[in-house]
A and B are shown apart, each in its own frame.
Chain A
Amino acid sequence: MAYSDKVIEHYENPRNVGSMDKSDDDVGTGIVGAPACGDVMKLQIKVEDGVITDAKFKTYGCGSAIASSSLVTEWVKGMKIEDAAEIQNSQIVEELSLPPVKIHCSVLAEDAIKAAIKDYQSKQGAGSDS
């Protein structure tokens, strides 16, 4: 169990833990799971004028999964949604020095932000053109 200092830091002081109203049209919600280990992750973004103004997560899983989602919520705040959609799991692996057995945790966080963006975009597309 050789967690890096950054993983431990995020695990002990996770940023942006919490929930937003998922029925809000400005909120995108991504819920993803890692079947082999039973981790589940919820990541939400609030978008205003194409920019992510807030991000929250709840992750029920190992330290690396919590750190990966915590890091992503920190990164995406203030980002344009197109830029946030470009986040790659390899960036998370590098930042947190994740070992090979924990790479799937970073994949989960990448999937979660992509799913949240997709959810937001589908709400905008389906929403009324008020």
Chain B
Amino acid sequence: MAAESRSASKSSPPSGDHFAVLGLAARHDLTRDEVEVAYLALAKQWHPDRVGPDDLAAKRRSMEASAAINVAYRALRDPVTRLEYLVKLGGVDLDSSDPKTGAPAPTQAFLVDMIERREGLSDARQGGTLAGFRGEVEDAEEEAVDAALAAITEGDTPAAAQSLVQRRYWQRLLDEIDDTEHTST
């Protein structure tokens, strides 16, 4: 209802994908500092408190901008979620089970390995070798991240998606190992 305030339209709110919102190039090899510096500057610029209390339109715009900036920062500050987001920009949504655009099914060899590891978990727990078992899974998780990174660098979204799906399986197993550790102590 209020007319557009002139002061608030001096710069347009950040828009587009998460990288564009933060004014960053859409690439994986950003440092945490780069992401943080971009975030802090924009968060300050678009903080709702910088708008006078009577300018409702500008107030709303700065709140929307702040929300977008926060969401973008949360998605991009962590290297793994940043990789997952790059894959999403490439057309594969890892959170979806859609057979065409969702997370790709893991290979049979991978699933067989996963079943065997799961079966090995109870042996490791009983045999007192949980720490070594966990180390192996941790290494596998890191290898999957490295493979996804290499694939993204080559612009191979399907291969990156496959590696990130594997990473999620490993992460899930790590979470279960940690649950086991907590319940057994």
Q: Which residues from chain A sit less than 8 Å from chain B, CB to CB?
A: 19, 31-38, 40, 42, 58, 60, 104
Q: Is the CB of B97 within 8 A of A36?
A: yes
In-complex Cβ contact of B118 among A34, A37, A58, A104 (8 A): A58
Q: Which residues from chain B sit less than 8 Å from chain A, CB to CB?
A: 94-97, 102-106, 108, 110-112, 114-115, 118-119, 165, 168-169, 171-172, 176
Residue of A nearest to B102 (CB): A36
Query: Helix, strand, loop or mixed for chain A's interface?
Result: strand
Q: Is the CB of A31 within 8 A of B115?
A: yes
The tally of CB-CB contacts under 8 A between chains A and B is: 47
Query: Helix, strand, loop or mixed for chain B's interface?
Result: helix
The 3 closest A-B pairs by CB, nearest first: A35-B103, A38-B172, A36-B97
Chain A neighbourhood of B104, CB < 8 A: 35
Q: Is the CB of B114 within 8 A of A104?
A: no
New A-B contacts (18) at CB < 8 Å, excluding given A35-B103, A40-B111, A60-B118: A31-B108, A31-B112, A33-B114, A33-B169, A34-B97, A35-B97, A35-B104, A35-B168, A36-B94, A36-B95, A36-B97, A36-B103, A38-B172, A40-B115, A40-B118, A58-B118, A58-B119, A60-B115
Q: Is the CB of B115 within 8 A of A35?
A: no
